[in-house]
A and B are shown apart, each in its own frame.
Chain A
């Protein structure tokens, strides 16, 4: 079920699926509310998954007030309150995982636990996080998942006429929101704050991540207080839950139980 709630910037799209204990899902650089296989996979394992779309993505209004990471974190804080996710466990991916960590650093009670798929937020000069935008649209798509077809729900156009125009605008707005989060370097001082994250964290990485090298898992693990597990999904890219929704859903479900 998809609802449009209200938040300070306008509409907030929230996809709820399944029955059971509530768990949040925070998307990364792409999203497809109502259709993304990972959410259904996770819901199928006995959870009520609540997946809000971040500002600028899908039908959630972009906020003109978002200028920097502080504004993003403030927006996420309000969004989890509106979505009823404050204090719940959260599965978060990529840029969404970075935001979840940033929020948990300043609001440690925001989440009861975190399952993070390839979070951004740290930086190593010897293995810089890749720039997902200095490429063509198809090049970007190839960077995000091992199988570019995995993100067809976001990148492909099945609509025609005015709906195609709307879809083009919606995708452009979503990519702009991602750009605002990662441009020019997705590192905003998280290393100085990450010790404040107090909830248990599980780290998941696609073995073929071309955006954030899987070795970053070490950098996160050494800085986080309570890492409960580290997993590699073989054959998956940066957005591992798009490449292999079943594998990531299984790992997340096991971590959440």
Chain B
């Protein structure tokens, strides 16, 4: 099993009264809350943490893209990845990823990912998320009715740009390019492994299953709540006639490791409560704009409502269906509001404990969800750099050795980067001394 150290890069100084005085952490958050001096410190500390994680043995470092968002301060993950490509010489660079529909034309993604693959010597994982409604529709103004079509067309263009032998013309609905000619081209041939971060879209499961892409469920709400989603994905893999290779799937999970469970609870309570109770304060009206979900996903939700309704008296059933529909707009993001740390642990949002306990629960999680890639969040909320590094070191030195073995003797990880041999890879060279 592979473990990727994943960073969201949350703003660490949201005020205590944030949830009562502000509508949302995302889209229309007060720009006056951002202090550039904090931003300077924060970005540098967060890059330190990623570099440290790579140095102590994590298989990869992971980053993602958000916009107008105080808990995810990477509008451009490629900028961070470019820095890490030079300073993390062996780890996979898992960019999860570039929201393709937001790049116009999307050939930009092909170019920048190819640059990253060249700089890193073939260590890039190319992630292509649709992107959340907040990022794609509200912050970036994409039209929900055409977002997914634009996204799929963009990926088609990127793949063709990476693999075509000749310059070609691309006459898409959304991108019209007379000359497509991607310079540079990726080290990994025919292209870097493709991972698709997603939520609960049935169409995304089916597409990943058919196309053979790795599916990443980036939930913040723990492995216990993820079972139904992952079962849905694996059913699609089975329906597609493909083997259930766990490396075709991954899951994001918060971790807090300490020498004892009691110490872990003491250490990680504040950053977890900051993240779940403050950073996830998203205005529900942003969560479910019409057109964002595919009709198959809407139908699935509606049928779920009907199934429940069928068990109740007809009048109560209709009321339940209406209530469920209203709640759909608030699902996931309001689920954690004002929850105690004990509840977070109980529900599996955060796996905490001593290294043995964490390893045991992680194995349980991986087996239940049948995943080969763990996106581990060892920094969350307003955690200090020192604590993040302590957590990271314990995870790397005492947990990873206990969980790495999983799946390795049964399955090949076909979704992991294939870099140049270490001897052929460039590393930053010492600067020559210049006499002045």
Contacts and interface: CB of A to CB of B under 8 A. Distances in A.
B291 A179 contact: yes
Given A157-B318, A169-B298, A177-B145, A137 B326 contact: yes
Most buried by B among A67, A177, A178: A67
A169 B303 CA distance: 10
Interface string A128-167: 0000011111110000000000000000111011101100
A69 B305 CA distance: 35
B146 A139 contact: no
B286 interface: yes
Nearest to A139: B285
B330 interface: yes
Contact of A136 (B306, B314, B330): B330
A160 B319 CA distance: 11
A183 to B, nearest CB: 5
A172 B298 contact: yes
Given A160-B318, A169-B295, A180 B302 contact: no
B24 to A, nearest CB: 10
Contacts, number: 97
Interface in B259-316: 283-286, 288-291, 293, 295, 298-299, 302-303, 305-306, 309-310, 314
Interface string A174-185: 011111100111
Most buried by B among A137, A138, A183, A184: A183
Contacts of A207: none
A164 B305 contact: yes
B317 interface: yes
Contacts of A185: 141
Contacts of B71: none
A67 B173 CA distance: 8
Most buried by B among A67, A134, A180: A134
Contact of B144 (A67, A135, A183): A183
Given A136-B329, A168-B298, A172-B295, A180 B146 contact: yes
B305 A172 contact: no
Given A160-B318, A168-B325, 16 more contacts: A134-B286, A138-B326, A139-B285, A157-B321, A157-B322, A161-B310, A165-B306, A168-B302, A168-B305, A169-B295, A169-B298, A169-B302, A172-B298, A173-B295, A175-B291, A183-B145
Interface of B: 27, 137-138, 141-146, 149, 173-174, 283-286, 288-291, 293, 295, 298-299, 302-303, 305-306, 309-310, 314, 317-318, 321-322, 325-326, 329-330
Interface pairs A-B: 8 shortest CB-CB: A180-B145, A175-B290, A176-B291, A184-B141, A135-B285, A168-B302, A165-B302, A176-B290
